[in-house]
Structure 1
Amino acid sequence: MVDVFLIVATTVAFFILFVIAVYLLVYYSHPDDHNEAYFPKIVVIIGIMLAGATCLLLPLDVANGEGYPGCDGYNTKLCGGFNMVLFWDIFFWLIPIWVFLMIPFSTFYYEADDGMLMAGTSVSPNPVRKSKILSAVGWTTGVVVFVSIVYVVAYFLGNEAQIPVNEFTGVDLLQSLTLGSDKRGVVFPNTALLNTTDNEPLPFTSNQMQDMNIYDAAYSDKVVDNESVSILMQVSVSTFFAALMAWLGWFLFSVFGGIGMASMPLDLILIFKNRPKHMDAVEFAEAQKSVRDRCNELVDIGELIKVERLTNPEMGKKARNERQALLEFRQAVYLLEQDVDDFKACTQDYDNYNPLRPYISLFLGICSIILSLFWIIHIVVYILPQSPWAPFLNAYFAWFDTWFSLFGVISVAIFTIYLLFAAVTGCFKFGLRVACISLHPMILGKTYMSSFLFNTGLVLLCALPVVQFSAQAFSDYARYTTINQIFNVQIDNLTFFGFWFTKNIFVYIFICLTGLTCVYLLCRPKDSGPSGVELRDRFRSRGRGRT
């Protein structure tokens, strides 16, 4: 029977995610999109809920198996009642559907422009809508076909996992588990004992299976005729898709998550440090002149870009230098807008500024510092060593549960969601400091749907790496979860993906970028874009060179 409390908690969690998604969409959307782009808005709302729910499935999995040592996700009688294997399979399919189908279609449809939709045109909107749909379907079909081919080829080449086990015969352990000396079995890491003759679980009680796990981890030298063997196992289609999505997502999460782990606390604290303050006449005049000069420079650059696009449209699209200059121009515009908002907050909007905002940011910044430090320490003492030096956070979560049964589960949720926020923050910080990707900031009342779709796709791509990373980091505390068996047993032993995960390649990238970002931000804490004068001179010199 399903635990009623788990049903209520799951329902409340989905409702909260829905409220958060709608709130973000309503308060951050640009006024131009208020009565437009309804389908992309639905895709964004469901995508945000899907990303959040994927991360929250881990604490749900922990709560479902908490206190049930024999829980494996299949036998729900030994768990809290939820079939977590089915839950995870559903999300393993929904994430790629959203990343490779729904978001690309929405993006292509939203950004489609065939030149027919203009103010005052007499052309019927139906051909325009049809043209945009056909264009979006065509591009999306190409994406889906490419991804399908890659997945099918990868699945048939590497869908087998070699799972290491311990094979034993003897009486020392068997007598303690009420087995005869003629029995043989194998022990999976953190799993139950299997009979090698028919591959069925041996009839152990939950306490006996827990003893087996402890025995295998700490007393393997006492087993008579112990021999290391491996079992060849073909993973399911959904599990392999999860491995592929996690592997792809790790390339983004290891970079952006590592940067965000260091930059997010600093950004929050700088909001407090740079809070609006009253300016005297001299400071007001200097700030006003600086903003006006920068604005004039960027207006000149914008006019040069417009002229260059009209006279040389192909060059504007294909030239690498043109794209780099355009990205730097967008950086400068964004930073100018931020400085203008800060200037207004210090002058004409000073009385309307919420004085609690910087103090809330300071509090969140302190919390972020604590979470980042705990994560770094946990990675160093538990994940990176071949034999963990200390359980650290696993022990603290178990200790929290002694106070209240859900304290540890809530803590797992906080640490997991924090990684997702760090990845989004790191992506924006990287784009702001290194002009190689387009900026898609979430600005209150100024965010277009293209930025919503980009950020939704980013969090969905990072969701499975976050879950895998958390399952690895909290494997002691979450030892009876289904996701622990999926990632730490099956996926970690796949032929290709297992090498990347078991060697902690992505984790090393993550922790190295966190350290490098800390050093870099301590030297250059303030975001500063390219010089407007330099950009303007660069465009003018290219214009003279072509003439």
Structure 2
Amino acid sequence: MDVFLLIFILAILGLSIVTNTRLLIYYQQPEDAGLNSILCKVIIVSSLTLAWMLNLLLPIDVRNSRPTTGFLDMQALWSAAFITLAVFIVLVVPTAMFYYEVEGDEFVKRKRRYVMCSLLMTLIFSAAILAISFPFLSQAAIPVVSYVCEEWQTGEETGRANVCGDGKATEIEVQVGFQIYVVSVLCFLGWFFLSIFGGIGLSAAPLDMILSFVDRPRPITEATYRQRKRMVGLAAGVLLQRAEELQNRDDAGAENAKGKRRFSWSSWQAGREQRQVRTDYNRFKCDVLLLEEEFEKLQVSKYQKGESLLVAVLKLCCGIIFALLSLAWILQIIICVLVPQITGEAGPPFLNSLFTAFEQSGLYPLGVALYACFNFYMLICVVKGCTKFGMRVAFFISIHPMRAQNTPLNSILFNVEMLLISTAAMVQFSQTTFSDYARLTEADVIFSAQIQRLRFYRFFFENHIFIITMLSVFLIAFIFFLVRPRDQGSITFSAPDQKLVSLADAAKAGDKC
């Protein structure tokens, strides 16, 4: 038994629980502190710990497979981990989200019934997808070399010439197990989040950290503070009026939707109005977020005489480190994924050689730490990319930003659910990009030999459609952020912000009327 590996796994598990608990305490709102909503908090910490362990299973698989096979049954461990992930994605986290949504809602009288009905619909939908697709898409085409022999050659006839001729490349159909198919579905769904939001985040994460250094709060005079505070107050008044308007429109839409026949023109029109209300509400949330950030900066500039130099330098250093990590990921994808696909030959190992060097030199924990940095950074990019996408395209998705001491539990649960879905694709992504490092592992067998060759899914996985999409999104987002680096409505002390000025002008016009 590899005692070091066992101790290392337990250490990772303990470290993940402690770290995730601290993260929850750091981000949650003060009113959620203590034992309030304890079930949601346990689910959040458990979900993040599961994401940690899944992302670090590949280095554990590497240690268990080389130089000799270890005591862990990695195939069973991979299956159990992904089945647990599926349960958390479909049942556990949605239950917490549904429960938290109605916990303080007076209009929902039967809260348990609401949660159970919502959960049942989610479970039925997920089970239907698996049950319908599994019989048709669970065949994997494994490449083999076929020989047609005219005569049978026994062991005593090894000196004779080859009577089988040249081999012919062909494929055989193999039925994969249900647990492997669940892994493939989770990976396929997760790739949509990872490729789009991860691609955006790879460019947005370093840029935002550098901009936070450039736009850091600086000391201001009393006159400037009063002027800016007045503008913030006027903008806040306009947003309050908009909130009341949205509430009235939402109530009116709900009343109009009652009693209308389904699939009628009037019901479609009512649904369209409700969708427009949701879009306007998403834009409203973006404006509120930017205004709150401006007010916080204003308070720091006034009462703390600007942001601490140490904090500002740390933000700049983080921005530089994030930029280097993004660049390393892009180079790793191009060198180790796209170049072999285009040329048909293996490219330079790049980061693979670094991980292998740590493994062979006896510095296995440092190699795992470096591997974890790359994986966890990509997951951070997914969260950042989702927020940036919601800020720029408000009609598509609602924002759930992670803010220190000011994040509701439902926003944390939303990001946790997105991280869990992305984790499945992240594991496959790491196995693909670090294929040299992942050689001779059970992960290589599961993802490269089975999932990558499944019917329907193989087109996306073998041709690296999602990875190419990630690079394309990264390039588009990078160019876009160079042109418009700041979110619309963001404010700096060097020049008045157009969004804030427009809100203030609207407030003045309302006062005159």
Gap change, CA 1:182 and 1:236, over 3 Å in 2: farther
Aligned ranges 1:107-126 → 2 under 5 Å: 107-112=97-102, 116=106
Structure 2 segments unaligned to the other structure (5+ residues): 150-154, 258-269, 490-497, 507-513
Query: Which residue in 2 is equivalent to 1:329?
Result: 284
Query: Which residue in 1 is equivalent to 2:454?
Result: 494
Aligned ranges 1:188-199 → 2 under 5 Å: none
Q: For 1:182 and 1:149, how far apart are their aligned partners in 2?
A: 58
Q: For 1:404 and 1:369, how far apart are their aligned partners in 2?
A: 29
Q: For 2:147 and 2:301, how far apart are their aligned partners in 1?
A: 74
Gap change, CA 1:493 and 1:535, over 3 Å in 2: farther
Q: For 2:411 and 2:505, how far apart are their aligned partners in 1?
A: 30
Q: Secondary structure at the match of 2:303?
A: coil
Greater shift in the superposed pair: 525-534 or 490-499: 525-534
Shift in Å at residue 179 of structure 1?
A: 12
Deviations 1:209-267 (A, max 9, x none): xxxxxxxxxxxxxx973332323221111110000011011111110000001100111
Deviations 1:499-543 (A, max 9, x none): 1111111111100010111111111111124947878999xxxxx
Greater shift in the superposed pair: 301-310 or 89-98: 301-310
Aligned ranges 1:214-363 → 2 under 5 Å: 225-314=166-255, 318=271, 319=273, 320-350=275-305, 354-363=308-317
Shift in Å at residue 180 of structure 1?
A: 8.3
The counterpart of 2:483, out of the listed 487, 508, 523, is 523
Query: Which residue in 2 is equivalent to 1:365?
Result: 319
Query: Which residue in 2 is equivalent to 1:477?
Result: 437
Aligned ranges 1:355-434 → 2 under 5 Å: 355-385=309-339, 386=341, 387=344, 388-406=346-364, 407-434=366-393
CA contact (8 A) 1:301 1:535 kept: no
Q: For 1:144 and 1:292, how far apart are their aligned partners in 2?
A: 46
Query: Which residue in 1 is equivalent to 2:139?
Result: 160
| Amino acid in the other structure paired with 1:369 | A
Shift in Å at residue 113 of structure 1?
A: 6.2
Q: For 1:520 and 1:308, how far apart are their aligned partners in 2?
A: 34
Query: Which residue in 1 is equivalent to 2:53?
Result: 53
Q: For 2:503 and 2:280, how far apart are their aligned partners in 1?
A: 7
Greater shift in the superposed pair: 296-305 or 484-493: 296-305
Query: Which residue in 2 is equivalent to 1:151?
Result: 130
Q: For 1:509 and 1:86, how far apart are their aligned partners in 2?
A: 32
Gap change, CA 1:65 and 1:361, over 3 Å in 2: farther
| Amino acid in the other structure paired with 1:64 | N
Greater shift in the superposed pair: 505-514 or 401-410: 401-410
Is 1:28 the equivalent of 2:18? no
Q: For 1:42 and 1:36, how far apart are their aligned partners in 2?
A: 11
The counterpart of 1:134, out of the listed 113, 117, 139, is 113
Greater shift in the superposed pair: 484-493 or 318-327: 318-327
| Amino acid in the other structure paired with 1:367 | I
Structure 1 segments unaligned to the other structure (5+ residues): 69-77, 118-126, 171-177, 184-222, 539-547
The counterpart of 2:73, out of the listed 73, 83, 87, is 83
CA contact (8 A) 1:245 1:461 kept: yes
Gap change, CA 1:479 and 1:179, over 3 Å in 2: farther
CA contact (8 A) 2:236 2:291 kept: yes
CA contact (8 A) 2:194 2:422 kept: yes
Gap change, CA 1:180 and 1:445, over 3 Å in 2: farther
The TM-score with structure 2 as length reference comes to: 0.85
Gap change, CA 1:259 and 1:115, over 3 Å in 2: closer
CA contact (8 A) 1:61 1:84 kept: yes
CA contact (8 A) 1:260 1:424 kept: yes
Say what the alpha-carbon RMSD is for the aligned residues: 2.9
The TM-score with structure 1 as length reference comes to: 0.80
| Amino acid in the other structure paired with 1:141 | L
Q: Secondary structure at the match of 1:108?
A: helix
Query: Which residue in 2 is equivalent to 1:439?
Result: 399
